[in-house]
Amino acid sequence: MIRETPFHPRTAVANQTGLWSHWSGYLAADRYQMSDKFEYFAIRNSAGVIDTSPLYKYRIHGADAERFLSGVLIRDIRKCRPGQAHYTAWCNHDGWVMEDGVIFRHTEDEFLLTAAEPNQAYLEDLRGPMRVIIEDVSDEYGALALQGPYAREVLSKLAPEMETIGYFHLTPAKIGRVPVTISRTGYTGDLGYEIWVERDDALEIWDRLFETAAPYGVIPAGQTALLITRIEAGLILIDVDFYSARYSWNDDQRATPLELNMGWMLRDLESDDRAFIGRRAIEREKAEGTSRWRTVGIMADWEDWDRAYNARGLVPPKDHTPEHGGMMIYDEKVRQIGWTPSFVYSPVLQHHIGIARIRPDHAKVGTKVGLEVTIDHRYEMVGSVVTRLPFYNPPRKTA
């Protein structure tokens, strides 16, 4: 059965296109306006509101909650203090990534873990005799992401605490009479916040937020606008940029944290005494240098892109709709060295960009490569260059 998020009575009215996707069994608007680029620019120039309620949410609490999570997550949860959040991941025993998500620490022994896929049974199997309770509260809470340069100004009118909350911090607050939790997190690479509210109070939060935000030009934003911004921000997406090791058929479909640009989560391994799942495999990969790939950015040369299409008598496309699938990448000898699972024409950067998986010996920033595009059923090579991630990283995101 297709479910509706707590905000559906409002998103259904706002959705002028009637276009919906399925996200974890819930209806999620593809776009509300006839132009999804309009919603995209709202995020980059004012603020957009995204219904992120379909995320799986697990409340993990009890005397051994920290010890339990220390053995599951690759990032050291002990360094996440109450009132903070971590972007993290978890692996199997061979060091392949199972999934990534954000863990919110409310108190010393209470956490909320968000994920794109169901994880209750997996976590329960790991619990053993530890004093920890794992509850799936996915349907009990709604979540709204307010993302963009005016996000702080808008939210501060509703909850003054937002004036000073730090990046990847969270705090309880009240919007009107409704208790909420607000975190300074998001998936757009911009200044952003997420409002977490109990299902029965969701519509009141939507209404109060849009009443306050109306003078700023804030509008609802759908999945297409969100996916454009996440590529610009260099944020990976499960089932696109990587596949869960739980469902992969072979090692070509699997990836390690080091291959997914998560090495920064593991910088302190030498002083980290945790025996988390996959640690030995990750240490061996680091020591032996056996990573097959690096996750980097790739940017197409706009003149060469135009040349390839003009040579066929075509107008070079500048399509801002994200492409998920895999465009092949080649070296100067036309040997395949990687691919781009995520690719888009960035409206703000005015370039074709992609999140790429490339062999380590070709992953240095500035390396020139060839990007294979299909034009009139023919393969054409377009000159491109390896870049750092993220592509878009405004100072306001963390300021």
Q: Which residues contact 204 (CB under 8 A, 6 or more apart)?
A: 175, 176, 178
Three-state secondary-structure class, residue 197 = strand
The hierarchical CATH code for the domain 63-131+256-290 is 3.30.70.1400
pLDDT of residue 137: 98
CA 304 to chain centre: 30
pLDDT of residue 1: 80
Could you count the other beta carbons within 10 Å of the beta carbon of residue 382?
22
pLDDT digits 0-9 by tens, 333-348? 999 999 999 999 999 9
Residue indicated by tokens 């593991």? 266
pLDDT of residue 343: 98
Q: 294-396: which CATH architecture?
A: Beta Barrel (2.40)
Closest by Cα among 344, 333, 328, 346 to 382? 328
Q: How far apart are the first and last CA of the chain?
A: 42
Q: What ranges do the domains of the chain cover?
A: 8-53+139-221, 63-131+256-290, 294-396
pLDDT of residue 98: 98
The pTM of this model reads: 0.97
Counting residues of the chain whose pLDDT is more than 90, the rounded percentage is 98
Class of the 8-53+139-221 domain? alpha beta
Residue 386 tokens, joined: 């390896």
pLDDT of residue 326: 83
Could you count the other beta carbons within 10 Å of the beta carbon of residue 199?
15
- In single-letter form, the type of residue at position 86 comes to H
Residue 232 tokens, joined: 């610009």
Distance CA 20, CA 77 (A): 36
Distance CA 188, CA 227 (A): 8
Cβ–Cβ < 8 Å for 374, 380: yes
- In single-letter form, the type of residue at position 169 comes to H
CA 239 to chain centre: 12
Q: Which residues contact 129 (CB under 8 A, 6 or more apart)?
A: none
pLDDT of residue 325: 86
Judged against a pLDDT cut of 90, whether residue 311 lies above it is answered with yes
Residue indicated by tokens 């097959």? 292
Judged against a pLDDT cut of 90, whether residue 5 lies above it is answered with yes
pLDDT digits 0-9 by tens, 101-151? 999 999 999 999 999 999 999 999 999 999 999 999 999 999 999 999 999
Helices 202-213 and 151-158, axial angle in degrees (round to 10) = 120
Confidence of residue 4 (pLDDT cuts 50, 70, 90): very high
Judged against a pLDDT cut of 90, whether residue 71 lies above it is answered with yes
Q: Specify the pairing of strand 336-346 against strand 351-358.
A: antiparallel
pLDDT digits 0-9 by tens, 235-294? 999 999 999 999 999 999 999 999 999 999 999 898 999 999 999 999 999 999 999 999
Cβ–Cβ < 8 Å for 131, 82: no
pLDDT of residue 29: 98
Counting residues of the chain whose pLDDT is more than 70, the rounded percentage is 100
Judged against a pLDDT cut of 90, whether residue 212 lies above it is answered with yes
Q: Average model confidence (pLDDT) for the chain?
A: 97
